[in-house]
Amino acid sequence: MKDSHGRVIDYLRISLTDRCNFRCVYCMPEEGVCQMSHEEILSLEEIERLVVVAAEHGIKSIRLTGGEPLVRKGVDDLIRSMTSIPGIENVSMTTNGVLLPRMAESLKAAGLNRVNISLDTLDPVQFHEITRVGKLEDTLAGIDAALEVGFDPVKVNAVTVRRLDQDFLAFAKLSLDRPLHVRFIEYMPLGQKAGDGLAGWGPEDVVPSKELLERINADAVAAGMEPLVPADRNPLGWGPAKYMAFPGAQGTVGFISPMSRHFCSECNRLRLTADGKIRPCLFSDEEYDVREALRAGADDEVARVLMQALGAKPDEHHDKVGTERNMSAIGG
């Protein structure tokens, strides 16, 4: 499947739910989301049917996200059926990790290939401030569980925000002794039309990856460590990250720069929201309703909506970042 700008689109991110067991300040309002009703959200069967059609048109990789994908009932069964769809080569997940100690084993058995765990700070007080309800130890236990059951790679995604003053070196050091791939992601002021994010953090809170790398290396050298060097291997899983590593480390340190370096020319993805809208671009509110097609039409109609969304993929996001929906509703 190629879009009108010649990019091969083979990756679909699926938001399984807009609900979450956290309330991260930059992602969800404190009172939680105005939850989609049972009828509004796609059933697991509808999602599976869409993936069958998408795979026939060249989608090879699926990432399950949300909201928190692990709060959706039946996620194991969905993974099991997705991995047996012809053309689907891998199914991965982005999670806050809290339910992994309980679920990692069954997710692995169902065929989930890899997990990304979101963690923005190693300070327990700050963790609680950011997530409003979460405990750092729970997400750390989720990372341990993911490694224990043998997911490979296990990536830890940290959103970098200037005003949070995170200890970036401490994060990067998580890659030293275990095969963890730490990735720093520039904060994106989404969730308010004006581009002044949900938490009231604006563009001034973006820490550009270049600055971040310089800071980590300066702190590493001051601590008597060798600086990061370009990694001789990339952890599996296509992605727009640039990977570095500490010499001799088991894992890597990646930098994802949606704000300072547009990687739109390498974009290979479509997104499906929990209520059945296909979004051609994270940063644009343009959406294509595939739910109606799934409920009323034949597979041809589902494919038509998919191709319509594909055809609407913009060449780049042109610095427009404000959106109607929050990340939890888009599926980050």
d(CA 305, CA 288): 7
Q: State the binding partner of 23 from ligand SAM, ligand SF4, none, CB within 5 to 8 A by kind.
A: ligand SF4
For ligand SF4, the binding residue among 96, 160, 252, 273 (CB under 6 A) is 96
* 321 token code pair: 């970042």
Nearer to ligand SAM, 10 or 68 (CB): 68
For residues 153 to 172, the per-residue mask of contacts with ligand SAM, x marking binding by CB under 6 A and - elsewhere, is ----x-x-------------
d(CA 73, CA 300): 29
Minimum CB separation from ligand SF4 for residue 159, in Å? 8
Nearer to ligand SAM, 131 or 217 (CB): 131
Minimum CB separation from ligand SF4 for residue 148, in Å? 22
Would you count residue 241 as binding ligand SAM (CB under 6 A)? no
Give how far the C-alpha of residue 57 lies from the chain's centroid of Cα atoms, to the nearest Å.
Answer: 23
Would you count residue 273 as binding ligand SF4 (CB under 6 A)? no
Minimum CB separation from ligand SAM for residue 94, in Å? 4
d(CA 323, CA 317): 12
Nearer to ligand SAM, 185 or 278 (CB): 185
For ligand SF4, the binding residue among 9, 12, 16, 28 (CB under 6 A) is 28
Nearer to ligand SAM, 27 or 180 (CB): 27
Interface residues toward ligand SAM, by CB under 6 A: 20, 26-27, 65-66, 68, 94-96, 118, 157, 159, 185, 187-188, 190, 197, 327-328, 332
